[in-house]
Amino acid sequence: MGKPTGFMEYQRCENKRRPPLERIRDWEDIYLPVEGEQRLQQGARCMNCGVPFCQAGVIFEGKQLGCPLHNLIPEWNDMLMDGNYGHALARLLKTNNFPEFTGRVCPAFCEQACTCGLYDEPITVHDNERSIIEYAFSHGMMKPRFTKNVSGKNVVVVGSGPAGLAVADQLNHRGHSVTVIEKHDRAGGILAYGIPNMKLPKELVQRRIDLMTDEGVTFVTGLDASDPAIAQRLIREFDAVVLCCGAEQPRDVGVDTTGVQGVYYAMDFLHAAVDRQQFGIKTNIPDAAGKQVVVIGTGNTASDCVATCIRQGCKSVIQLVRRGREDYLDPNGELPQDYAQEEAQAVFGEDPRVFRQSVAKLEADESGQLRGITTRDGQLYPCELLIAATGFSGCRADVCEAFGVKREKTVKTETGRYRTSIPHIFTAGDMHRGQSLVVHAIAEGRAAAIEVDRFLMGYTNLI
Ligand SMILES: Cc1cc2nc3c(=O)[nH]c(=O)nc-3n(C[C@H](O)[C@H](O)[C@H](O)COP(=O)(O)OP(=O)(O)OC[C@H]3O[C@@H](n4cnc5c(N)ncnc54)[C@H](O)[C@@H]3O)c2cc1C
Ligand code: SF4
């Protein structure tokens, strides 16, 4: 039951970020993991409290309370404390298909709900999770697992982001034959081509795809299922179809960009950056080297753009934020900085955020090249590269039309269900709930897999 006095004996010790001026010189992981005895002590801080809110995973007063995957946190913290990585791994994998992703990019709702955090620092659940799965991979514990019970049913999953991968993993281990279709040249969705390498190294995404391939999942890349002929063929040839195409429809930049060069949506910019940097692929989208950059928006995507531009050697970067500074202050009245803002501060001497600002007009030269932007209060900023991290309004219409499923902003299902308007077509992830987080995509994928399994077999033993 954990070490009853652990939370009094040991202080919280998080994985530390590498110094900003050092890490901007490469594209490697920004964190230095705490390992060995110190990691076991972090497990021992978990007091196995009577009501572990950390794993509740409910919405309380409009906020996510605890882990959406209901990870069995006190159990694996207890095993971690004893250095029993094998058992900790078994309990972790029971509820989370991809801890190597959540252990890096999850905002850790568990820690916000941790009882220990009520009067002290919460347990380092997020970092403990990463430690368990990385120990397992590096010690040969993550071997392919096969099921003896083969159902004879086949399922196609369209889209290979975390939602699609979770559906595929669950249904494959259940004994169905699973094919994943991906329109891009590699599987992984935003994990593979959106989130930059320093936050989620791309070899880790490929490591998981390779493991799933060894376990029998078939991946077909470079195939766009929004082609009606392809969609109809998939509908005919598979017992069930699961659409996990993400929320790819970007929100408008909010200003007329006609004929102006140098304005890009964040996803296009980041995709090109990963392609160029990690895979040596040439792209038409320029990098930020030597440019004065303006990023519109806040959140993960905007920060990833700021950090990417800094690594590419931009001359300057600012971030236009629509809401006021006061909306972002912590309980101590201070403005927290994420990794990208910390880097901008170190390189340019100030936080990149400019609050209560949005773009009113673009200033271009005779050739159409962007030279500056004017904000709503009339301020002119020099700018040769404008990146719009303005969010996503929903999923794309073309793929929904090709499969004939009802869509408003996202694909319509009954509340809390995953079956679409067509009986053997299901949906999950951002395509279903709208732009969200990796942990929610995995949770959606697992929940959709239960419905698919019940549809195929008449019952389910998935959890
Ligand atoms: C830049 C960025 C940074 C982010 N950072 C974080 C973070 O730090 N932490 C966090 O928790 N979340 C983060 N998110 C959000 C998170 O990545 C998403 O919520 C998550 O990836 C959604 O998973 P998904 O599987 O539903 O969709 P996606 O990951 O978008 O995957 C959808 C897949 O479907 C494929 N597809 C689409 N249409 C077709 C078609 N017609 N045929 C075949 N394939 C198709 C796409 O190519 C894609 O591979 C970030 C998002 C972005 C954009
Ligand atoms: S998936 Fe996220 S919320 Fe759940 S235990 Fe891991 S870090 Fe916490």
Provide block-wise average pLDDT over 10 residues at a time, the chain (463 residues): 84 96 98 95 90 91 93 96 97 98 97 92 97 98 95 98 98 98 97 97 98 98 98 98 96 90 97 94 95 96 98 98 95 95 98 95 96 94 97 94 96 96 96 97 98 98 92
- The closest-lying atom of ligand 1 relative to the alpha carbon of residue 226 is 41
Residue of minimum CA distance from atom 19 in ligand 1: 437
Confirm or reject: Cβ of 106 under 6 Å from ligand 2: yes
Buried b (16+ CB within 10 A) or exposed e, 129-151: bbbbbbbbeeeeebeeeeeeeeb
Please tell me the class of the 6-138 domain: mainly alpha
- For ligand 2, whether the C-beta of 78 sits within 6 Å is no
Q: Which of ligand 1's atoms lies nearest the C-alpha of 102?
A: 11
pLDDT for position 1? 62
- Please tell me if the CB atom of residue 126 comes closer than 6 angstroms to any atom of ligand 2: yes
Q: Comparing 6-138 with 154-248+393-457, is the CATH topology the same?
A: no
Residue 173 CA: distances (Å) to CA of 129, 170, 399, 432: 22, 5, 27, 23
Number of the ligand 1 atom closest to the C-alpha atom of 184: 47
**Any atom of ligand 2 within 6 Å of the Cβ of 437:** no
**The predicted structure's pLDDT at residue 4:** 84
For residue 123 and ligand 2, the question of a CB distance below 6 A is answered with: no
CB of 189 shorter than 6 A to ligand 1 = yes
Nearest-CA residue for atom 1 of ligand 2: 102
Measured in Å, residue 190 CA sits from the centre of ligand 1 at: 4
Q: What is the pLDDT of residue 308?
A: 98
Centre of ligand 1 to C-alpha 105, Å, is 13
Mutation probe of ligand 2 site: the residue of 110, 111, 130, 438 with most atoms within 8 A of C-beta: 110
Q: Which ligand is nearest to the CA of 192?
A: 1
Amino acid type, 288 = A
Any ligand 2 atom below 6 A from CB of 128: no
Cα 83 to averaged position of ligand 2 atoms, centre (Å)? 20
Using a 6 Å cutoff on CB, does residue 246 contact ligand 1? yes
Q: Does ligand 1 lie within 6 Å of residue 2's CB atom?
A: no
Cα(16) to ligand 1 centroid in Å equals: 27
CB under 8 A, 24+ apart: contacts of 197-200: 197/27, 197/28, 197/274, 197/277, 197/278, 198/23, 198/26, 198/27, 198/28, 198/29, 198/30, 198/307, 198/311, 199/30, 199/104, 199/105, 199/304, 199/339, 200/101, 200/104, 200/105
Q: Ligand 1: which atom is nearest the Cα of residue 398?
A: 41
Q: Looking at domain 154-248+393-457, which of 3.30.450.20, 3.30.565.10, 3.30.390.50, 3.50.50.60 is its CATH number?
A: 3.50.50.60
**Could you write out the DSSP letters of every residue in 179-199?**
EEEESSSSSSTHHHHTS-TTT
Using CB atoms within 10 Å of the CB of residue 12, give its burial: 0 to 12 exposed, 13 to 18 middle, 19+ buried.
Answer: middle
Q: Is the CB of 45 under 6 A from ligand 2?
A: no
Q: How far is the CA of 99 from the centre of ligand 2 (A)?
A: 8
* pTM over cut 0.95: yes
Nearest CA owner, ligand 1 atom 17: 190
**Is the shortest distance between the CB of 102 and ligand 2 below 6 Å?**
yes
User: Can you give the residue ranges of every domain in the chain?
Assistant: 6-138, 154-248+393-457, 263-390
CATH assignment of 263-390, among 3.40.50.300, 3.50.50.60, 3.30.70.141, 3.40.190.10 = 3.50.50.60
Shortest-distance ligand to the CA of residue 397: 1
**Ligand 2 atom nearest to 106, measured from its CA:** 2
Q: 131 CB less than 6 Å from ligand 2?
A: no
